[in-house]
């Protein structure tokens, strides 16, 4: 999340998963993404989560950018 917002300067980060994948949904929620809607992606039912840069708060955890 930090890399996306701070290094790449994304305005929004989104994630999708199958509705029944509760573990994946929990990971997205722990990362700060919020449920937005049910959707279709390549004819598959998915749930759509997102967070905007203005809504996201860094936890100041250390990450190492390796190039």
Residue 21, judged by CB atoms within 10 A of its CB (0-12, 13-18, 19+), counts as: middle
Beta-carbon contacts of 33 under 8 Å, excluding residues fewer than 6 positions away, are 13, 14, 15, 49, 50, 51
**pTM of this structure:** 0.80
* Distance separating alpha carbons of residues 31 and 14, to the nearest angstrom: 11
pLDDT exceeds 80 at position 39? yes
> What pLDDT score was predicted for residue 65?
66
> What pLDDT score was predicted for residue 67?
65
> What pLDDT score was predicted for residue 34?
96
């Amino acid at each position: 999340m930090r890399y996306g917002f701070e290094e790449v300067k994304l305005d929004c980060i989104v994630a999708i998963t199958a509705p029944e994948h509760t573990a994946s949904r929990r990971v997205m929620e722990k990362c700060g993404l919020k449920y937005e809607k049910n959707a279709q992606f390549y004819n598959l039912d998915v749930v759509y989560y997102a967070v905007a840069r203005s809504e996201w708060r860094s936890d100041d955890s250390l990450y190492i950018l390796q190039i």
